[in-house]
Structure 1
Amino acid sequence: MSSMARLKQNKLGPIVSDHGAKAESMLYPFTNADRRQILRWDDSELAYAELYEALEKDIEEADDREYMKLRDTTKSHLESCMQFLSQAAHTLELLDTLDSGFDSVKRQTMTFQEACDAISSEQTRLEKLADDIETNLRPFNLLEEFTRRLNTPGTDFVTQDGYKKMLEALDQCILYTEQHPTFMGVEIYQMRFRQCMTRALTLIRAYFMNSIRDVVNDVQSHISAKALNDTTQPALLYTKFRVDAPLLRDLTSEIHQRCEGHEEYVSLLGDCYKFYTNARRKLISPIVSKRIADMRNTMPDLLQLARQSIVYMRTICYDEYDLFYSLFSEGDDVIYNLLESLTEPLQDVLRTRIIHEKKAEVLYELCSLLQGLAMHDNEDDEDEDQEGYFDRVQLDFGRLFQSTLQDAQVKLVFRMQAYS
């Protein structure tokens, strides 16, 4: 314990010298109590000096403690600031490292992006190339499918919906080979596609002939059974043929629309024409010949025979004309050849009667009758066109009797010369 503390304890009573709540009063040289104590001091000068020194030392120590405390606090703050600066510098180093890393990542990302763009462009190019290759190979790849389908036994599959699409695909394949003559081996594929098309149209011809043959055999069986009369004749000779007429017309149209520039297709269509006209001639000619023979035997008058037989033949010819165009889309020359062959029995009878006819007025009326056939047909055509019923040129019935008209005119000239 210091002398000042002892002095205070012995003389002045307890003096607080700790650094607690009383520490602030020690900053002053003397407190009020100290002053009062000094004023009441009655000891010697030595004791006073000791007291003064003790008090001064306590004051110095008190000032030193505050200074030390401030110094320690400041040092602590300084150390903290230095730690903060060190940590900040370390953080800056880390940030620099991160920034450098980010720059590296950015460069690598850009390089990667460029590589991805290049790969994407290459992928797009390769995909387009693959699509082009697939497009170019598709027609050639279809050849095997065409061949397999066309080698199917029978001909009924030509009536399926997919058959027409197959023909259209064959057309496209043939056109493609023609448009790309520089392809390797394209001539072989073009030839094989042509062979497939010929095979496909040949199957249509076979189906058409088989269908007509079946109907003809059915009709002939009824004729052989004597089941043909005025009531059943139209049904047997025309209605049965019209049952499958729309389908057969579509099939023959497939051949017709491909005939231009291809003789083999023309030949196939010609076979259909020939088979049909022979079948119709085989069915109709005996009936017409018998009917004309009956008229010839019962009608000795030339004009009566001509009128009645022409009315009958007109009905036959128009029915045949309509039936023909229900099966074919074109073929005027074919149907006229058929009709001319059907009218031959009548023309032979009329020609014989004309040769033996001696009356000029009869020959004149016959010529007028035959000349009026064409005019009558033209008037009928105009009426029908106005109604919008027909979408094709109508039958020129007068054309069928041109040779008979010429015979009658020649005979009339001869008779007129005989009178002059």
Structure 2
Amino acid sequence: MSSHDGIMADVAVLDIRKVQNKLLEWEQPDRPLAPLSTSQRDAVLDLSQEVNIRTIPHDLPFGDDDEVTFNKDNEITCHDLAQSFVNLELGRVKIETTQQFLSWYSHVEEELLQAEDVRFTDYWHQLAEQRDECAVLLSQIESALKDLSCLMEQYQVVSNRTNSLHQVSEQLLADQTKLHNTCEEVGQRLQNFMTLDSLNNRLASPTLCVSSEAFVDILDRLDQCMEYIGAHSKWRESSSYLTRFRHCLSRIVAMIRGHVVDVLEHATQQVLAPATHVPMAAMHSTGFALCYGKFQASAARVKPLLTQVESRVTHSPEYQQLLTECHQCYFTQRELLLSSSVATSITELSVTHKGDHCSLVRSSCACLVHVCQDEYQLFYQFFSQPTPLLTSYLEGLCTVLYDVLRPFIIHINHLETLAEVCSILRLEMLEEHVQNNPGPLEAFGQVAWQLLQDVQERLVFRAHCYLQSDILHYKPAAGDLAYPEKLEMMESIAQSLQEQAALSLRHSESRSSLASIGSATSQEVARINSDSGVTFEQPRSRTGNSPADLHGMWYPTVRRTLVCLSRLYRCVDRPIFQGLSQEALTMCIQSVASAAQAICTKKSPIDGELFQIKHLLILREQIAPFQVDFTIKEMSLDFSKVKTAAFSLLHKRKQLFSLGTNNALLEFLLEGTPTVREQLVDSRKEVDKQLKASCEAFIHHTTKCLVGPLLTFLDKSEVFVSMQTEVAGNATLAQQPFAHADVIGHVVQETQRLIKSQLPTIHRSMQLYLANRETEFILFRPIKNNVVASFVQLQQVLSGGRYTSDDLLLAGCPSPEQVTVLLSSASLLSSNQEALPKVSNTTTTVIEEELHT
């Protein structure tokens, strides 16, 4: 039994260890066999604590004879428990056979095993109980969850119903707000319709005044309602209400119109009460308060109301019509006051300045300028915005000026007066007044421009007549053609004046005094052109004041042409001036040519040619400052093809009515049409061309005058030589009677005598006419070259082997150097060794260019 006990004890220990190991493996942290949740683990710990605390009951029966021993913790050991069970069984069971023993042993073993497993069994029972409790708890939890789920469903149902109720409440509030806003909006919309009765009642009030603030409020409210209804014309009854509102607007417009008309008419009656018509002279002095002061005082009564109307012009056409009627009423009243006064004043000025057209134009225009400025300022005392009716009204007042002045203008014949009137209208009125004050003087500027056009037209017409009568058809008097007597007389006068001035004045004062003694015509032209902005150059002379330019020594047609052009330059437009200048210069050139021809017949060709050169140079110099092109385009018909076509038609008379392309009549119509030809006419080039022709004619006549016999001999010898070449004769030039050496010597002596006698006279004439040392030198240079060339040609004739040395000595032909010395000794240039001017003027430049050409 001891071994059996030991075996049983070891078995028990092993079982306990296995159980412990299993239990340890159940709770391994890494890989537990029975992983428990936190709540389960807490439950197990609580159960184990209860088991350890609970003891074995003392009344537990273990047997009659055996006693059970307890340890210090009042616990039964396994060995004792097993021994107790063995003892108990052996006392109860009777073992007779081995089989019984084995059965018993088996039974005991089972009991031992069961005894050893009691603790585990208890633990198992506890676990089962805990499991049952957990199952009950789980069932309770599931029941609670079901209750909670049901509660959640009920809560969700209640929540949904609450939310829907909240949403419905909010929708009801939104609908209420919307309905409230709609109600207010409908009320506001209806307010524009319901205002109609209120406006009618206010308009029907007998205490309503158009100049009060209440009336302005009515206007604002009415415009607001009409604008609103007009913007919603598709609404029901909008058209009918709009018509009724327009009726109210018509009543308001009538009230405003009546008030403005009453104020303006009352102001007019106040002005007309003292006198029916106030002349303009009194209007700008004592009558100013009547015509302008009372009207200006009335402006305060209507200006605010008219300002309201002007600000509403874009709202409705009724306001525009009302403003137009107010303008018309205003201008009607002003015209009633001023029209007769302006006409009377202009008429009085025409009587006051009778015969003085310039003063009449200046004073009458100044009067209208003041009227326009005053009316412009007075208009803006009543109104704030401009209107074209103001310009039309002022044009009506200024038309009186045009009607009064135009009959005077079309009867003015003097160019000076017309030019002065042009200057007054263009410079003083248009450029000074109108340009500096364009707003008030717009109407006056238009009338002044019409007057200027009429004056310019009259000026152009009179200029044509003047050019025809006083330049082209000018009949010169005996004194106009008294050349060179006039020049000589004026030279003596100039010298005497210089001598007297030198005796009475100091040297510096003498020079200024001499410079003041100039040509009256030159001074006049310079004064006219200084006013027009054109500066003319005076011809330079040897003394500064030559007899050719002293006291108006210009030919009358030249003086008149320059004065006429000077006046026209600042009065007419440039295209018109170009046409007139071309016509004037052409006529002047013809007049100078006619006068030169008369002087040539009366005196000598040299005088006539110098006269023409002098005045062409004056023309050339004096037209240079004009900043215009003297070129004009002329249209002419060329009938040269007509003549050719007519001859062709005569030659083809048989083909007049032939068919096809050979019809002579058709060819005549197609080929014989005259063509239009354009050509440019340059007056300045015409002057240069005529000047060149005059210089060439003067050089030719002067050369003939100096070496005439020599030229005659050279012409005969040239003719003889050419004839001898043609007939191939044996006769020589030296054998001819006109070409003997003694005859040639006589010709040479006669030529030298002419040079010595005529050359001083020629230089004297050039000095008198041209009055410029450089010009004289340039014009004399080709003459000198011609004289020298004539003697060189004579030397060529004599040196051709036709004459012997004795014949050459007998002929006595001088060399070119000797001829040059002869010319120098006989001329004024060698006698007076004055230096030539270093700065060439226009005259010398023109002559030099023309001669080189």
TM-score by structure 1 length? 0.64
Q: 1:130 is matched with which residue: 173, 180, 183?
A: 183
What does residue range 112-191 of structure 1 map to in structure 2 within 5 Å? Answer: 120-152=173-205, 157-191=209-243
Distance of 2:234 and 2:390 partners within structure 1 = 45
- Cα 1:395/1:254, change in 2 over 3 Å: farther
Name the residue aligned to 2:448: 401
- What do residues 175-204 of structure 1 show as CA deviations (whole Å, max 9, x unaligned)? 211222332111111222222223222321
Name the residue aligned to 2:780: none
SS in 1 for 2:385: coil
Name the residue aligned to 2:249: 197
Structure 1: 5+ residue stretches without partners: 1-105, 383-392
CA RMSD of aligned residues (A): 3.2
Q: 2:330 is matched with which residue: 251, 267, 276?
A: 276
Distance of 1:264 and 1:332 partners within structure 2 = 17
Name the residue aligned to 1:413: 460
Contact residue 370 and residue 398 of structure 1 kept, 8 A: no
SS in 2 for 1:356: coil
Deviation of 1:412 (Å) = 1.2
Which residue identity lines up with residue 295 of structure 2 in the other structure?
Answer: F
Q: 2:433 is matched with which residue: 377, 385, 388?
A: 377
Deviation of 1:322 (Å) = 0.9
Which residue identity lines up with residue 316 of structure 1 in the other structure?
Answer: V
Distance of 1:368 and 1:209 partners within structure 2 = 44
Distance of 1:320 and 1:110 partners within structure 2 = 81
Name the residue aligned to 1:303: 358
Are 2:297 and 1:243 aligned? yes
Which residue identity lines up with residue 157 of structure 1 in the other structure?
Answer: C
Name the residue aligned to 1:366: 421
Distance of 1:346 and 1:352 partners within structure 2 = 11
Which residue identity lines up with residue 377 of structure 1 in the other structure?
Answer: H
Q: 1:255 is matched with which residue: 305, 309, 312?
A: 309
Which residue identity lines up with residue 402 of structure 1 in the other structure?
Answer: W
Q: 2:348 is matched with which residue: 279, 294, 300?
A: 294
Deviation of 1:221 (Å) = 0.8
- Cα 1:363/1:224, change in 2 over 3 Å: closer
Deviation of 1:353 (Å) = 0.6
Distance of 1:401 and 1:199 partners within structure 2 = 44
Deviation of 1:121 (Å) = 4.5
How many residues of Structure 1 are paired with residues of Structure 2 in the alignment? Answer: 305
Contact residue 212 and residue 276 of structure 1 kept, 8 A: yes
Name the residue aligned to 1:222: 274
Distance of 2:204 and 2:385 partners within structure 1 = 29
Which residue identity lines up with residue 248 of structure 1 in the other structure?
Answer: V
Which residue identity lines up with residue 243 of structure 1 in the other structure?
Answer: A
Which residue identity lines up with residue 334 of structure 2 in the other structure?
Answer: R
- Cα 1:219/1:163, change in 2 over 3 Å: same
SS in 2 for 1:222: coil
Higher helix share: 1
Name the residue aligned to 2:412: 357
Name the residue aligned to 1:334: 389
Distance of 2:447 and 2:358 partners within structure 1 = 18
Which has the greater radius of gyration? 2
Distance of 2:218 and 2:199 partners within structure 1 = 8
Name the residue aligned to 1:21: none
Deviation of 1:315 (Å) = 0.9
SS in 1 for 2:420: helix
Contact residue 369 and residue 441 of structure 2 kept, 8 A: no
Deviation of 1:218 (Å) = 1.0
- What do residues 118-162 of structure 1 show as CA deviations (whole Å, max 9, x unaligned)? 7654543332122111111111111112222334459x7111112
More displaced 10-residue stretch of structure 1: 324-333 or 262-271: 262-271
Distance of 1:241 and 1:216 partners within structure 2 = 8
Name the residue aligned to 2:8: none
Deviation of 1:281 (Å) = 1.1
Name the residue aligned to 1:312: 367
Structure 2: 5+ residue stretches without partners: 1-157, 468-853
TM-score by structure 2 length? 0.33
Distance of 2:388 and 2:231 partners within structure 1 = 35
Which residue identity lines up with residue 422 of structure 2 in the other structure?
Answer: C
Contact residue 310 and residue 323 of structure 2 kept, 8 A: yes
Deviation of 1:329 (Å) = 2.6
SS in 2 for 1:329: coil
Which residue identity lines up with residue 179 of structure 1 in the other structure?
Answer: A
Higher relative contact order (CA 8 A, sep 6+): 1
Distance of 2:369 and 2:314 partners within structure 1 = 34
Distance of 1:338 and 1:170 partners within structure 2 = 34
Name the residue aligned to 2:71: none
- Cα 1:402/1:378, change in 2 over 3 Å: closer
Distance of 2:189 and 2:315 partners within structure 1 = 26
Contact residue 371 and residue 398 of structure 1 kept, 8 A: no
Which residue identity lines up with residue 337 of structure 2 in the other structure?
Answer: L
Distance of 1:415 and 1:395 partners within structure 2 = 30
More displaced 10-residue stretch of structure 1: 304-313 or 110-119: 110-119
Contact residue 278 and residue 341 of structure 2 kept, 8 A: no
